[in-house]
Amino acid sequence: MEYIFVLAMVGLAAAMVGGGLFFSRLVAPHNPGGNKSVPYECGEQPIGQAWIQFNVGYYLFGLLFLVFDVEAALMYPWAVVFRSTGLPGLIEMLIFVLVLVIGLIYAWRKGVLEWV
């Protein structure tokens, strides 16, 4: 039942956007074309598309994020049951985190964390 309510909220967001756009279409003017069709670049004529290759640095941070976010997702159930696992749970998580920290140190030393 809880999830049905959450799902209803997704529907509500869709209805808000859809309804708002529909109402706006009814009352707002609509005449595309002319210089409005040119991408906005502070009055300059744009040269080429915007869909180009971009800085590889974003990709490296994406990879790092993936590692640490999966780690964090894995740590949620550990955090919930931590009181019952006690010291062994802490030691196991310590080893797990240590591996990831070594990875972070490696990336740090390799200069991945420097923005170029």
Partner 1 sequence: MTHPMLAIPAALPAGSPWGAQTLAERASASQNLWVTAGYFLLAIVGVTVLLTLLGMVLIYVERKVAAHFQCRIGPKRVGPFGIFQTIADTLKLLFKEDFVPPQADQVLHILAPFLALLVPVVLLALIPYSPMTQIADLNIGILFVTAIGGFGVMGILIAGWSSNNKWSMIGAMRAGAQIISYEISATLALLVIVLFSGTMSLSGIVHSQSEGWWVWRGHAAGFTAFIIYLIASTAELNRTPFDIPEGESELTAGFHTEYSGLRFAFFFLAEFINMFTVSALTATLFLGGWMPFHVGDWAVLNGAMDAIPPGVWFLGKTSAVIFLIMWIRWTFPRLRVDQLMHLEWKVLLPIGIANLLIAAVLVLTNFYPFPH
- Residues at the interface with partner 1 (CB under 8 A): 1-6, 8-10, 12-14, 16-18, 20-21, 23-25, 27-32, 36-37, 39-42, 46, 49-52, 54-55, 57-58, 61-62, 64-65, 68-69, 72-73, 75-76, 79-80, 82-83, 86-87, 90, 93-94, 97, 101, 104, 108, 113-115
**Whose CA is closest to 110, among 72, 63, 70?**
63
- φ, ψ of residue 82 to 5 degrees: the values are -60, -35
Tell me the closest approach of the beta carbon of residue 60 to partner 1, in angstroms: 10
By residue count, the chain amounts to: 116
Phi and psi angles of residue 73, each rounded to the nearest 5 degrees, phi first: -60, -35
| Shortest distance in whole angstroms from residue 23 CB to partner 1 | 7
Report in angstroms how near the CB of residue 89 gets to partner 1 at its nearest. 8
Smallest distance, partner 1 to C-beta of residue 56, A: 11
List all residues 6 or more positions away from 114 whose beta carbon is below 8 Å from its beta carbon.
Answer: none
Count of alpha carbons within 13 angstroms of residue 56, beta-carbon side: 1
